[in-house]
Amino acid sequence: MPELGTQERPLRVAIVGSGPSGFYAADALLKSDTAAQVDVFECLPSPFGLVRFGVAPDHPKIKNVIRVYEKTAANEAFGYFGNVDVGNDITLDELHQYYDAILFAVGAATDRKLNISGEDLEGSHTATEFVAWYNGHPDYRDRRFDLNTRIAVIIGQGNVAVDVARILCKTTAELAATDIADHALRALAASKIEEIYMIGRRGPAQAAFTEPEIKEMGELLDCGVDLRAEDLKLNDASRAEIEDPANKRNKNNVEILEAYLARDDSARQRRLKINFFQSPTALHGARRVERVTLERNALSGDPGRQKARGTGKTEDLACGIFFRSVGYRGVPLDGVPFDEDAGTFANEQGRIVGSAGTVIPGLYCTGWIKRGPSGVIGTNRPDSAETVAALLADCDHLAAAPRRDSGDLYRSLRERGVRVVNYEDWKRIDAAEIEAGRAAGKPREKFTRVADMLSILGDA
């Protein structure tokens, strides 16, 4: 019998998840010296994961990476099983019947909690659900965000928090020509929000946002940036941190913030208020969020190792809508060992391991579900390459799947009522979105319901 990974018997790999890490893994497999058939499984009809549903609509250039993924999808050894939910429409045991290895690229789908009282009040939301809502994710299409309030509070100062703040700060005119979901554009056009607080537990020298993101906040049409002068007085350890050449980004961030402090843009209607050295301790309200209690923090420790600790000094801030953006964690999947502390699948360099630390043959992971929520889109390329290298190194020891025809699996799913969306189907949906967008003066008008996507395909 021919060896696994030869032209006579290609290595069959199922990749679960069609975001950046999934596509980079597919590309690495298909460009390797090992003959492979790669099928990507996605629970939605549409591919590209966070590039489609996480990248802000007013940052279209970042989405150009889709062109790279389209080249991967054009490979004749690439298959796409869209609208197939692994764990529901098909089990892991069934996948093992058709694939020699399964590689999970499912990201970190849920937010970390603050674990404070009142966190579950109406009007308290995660940044993830808001981002997915305005980006047209079908699972979040019908979420409701009450923007008929004056003050919004965002806890967190990473790029996702900045995205949320920027979308709330922008005028309708600034958003109208983007691919923002139409339902979100209409809601934001009626927004009564005037003040947006973006609050971080540490100082400006430790803020996680990147230079372009925070600089862009000063370029909005009708929103000014406010800071507290005392927040920009750095302690010795923070000053040492930003003087380290390795922390040039942080130094640039501080300089941008100092420039905001010196500006006078008081005539602008909306205000972004960036507060440092504060942590929320409680949310209050009879039924929905009305105010948040914030504790003042102080930093202590050596440069690069400073910790924020509460001082006991608190203040209450009025708040009509509240978002937390303090990190993400993966979601467990039956049959796959999960590291509760890290919020990832238990793994070593992408090989999934059991409770005793032993490698589980044929199971791999990449992206945020492997390393946790860190890095940017491009970070996933070397991460996926590492996992694929491990998979290929294991090739001689993998158990060959008994069933080796993707067409048989496709037909089996269709027979049980699953409308599998292949890549040609997706291209038809994609073309329909672009055409609808052209009529509205937008790059595309996303279908925000699965049924609407499938209606484009008819019974083909």
Residue ranges of the domains in the chain?
Answer: 11-109+330-421, 111-327
The residues, ordered by sequence, that sit 6+ positions from 156 with a Cβ below 8 Å of its Cβ are 127, 198, 199, 200, 323, 324, 325, 326, 327
Q: What angle do CA 49, 51, 55 make, to 5 degrees?
A: 125
Q: What CATH fold (topology level) applies to the domain 111-327? A: FAD/NAD(P)-binding domain (3.50.50)
44 vs 98: CA distance, rounded Å: 21
Strand extents, DSSP E, 88-202? 101-104, 110-111, 124-126, 151-155, 195-199
Run means of pLDDT, 10 residues per run, the chain, 460 residues: 87 98 98 97 97 96 97 98 97 97 95 95 97 98 97 97 98 97 98 98 96 96 96 97 95 96 89 98 97 98 96 98 94 94 96 93 97 92 98 95 96 96 98 96 97 89
Q: Give the CATH superfamily of 11-109+330-421.
A: NAD(P)-binding Rossmann-like Domain (3.40.50.720)
The string of pLDDT tens digits covering residues 68-96 is 999 999 999 999 999 999 999 999 999 99
Domains 11-109+330-421 and 111-327 alike in fold: no
Tokens for 86? 């692994």
14 vs 453: CA distance, rounded Å: 24
The string of pLDDT tens digits covering residues 97-148 is 999 999 999 999 888 999 999 999 999 999 999 999 999 999 999 999 999 9
Closest CA to 228 of 294, 290, 321, 169: 294
The model carries a pTM of: 0.94
21 vs 197: CA distance, rounded Å: 33
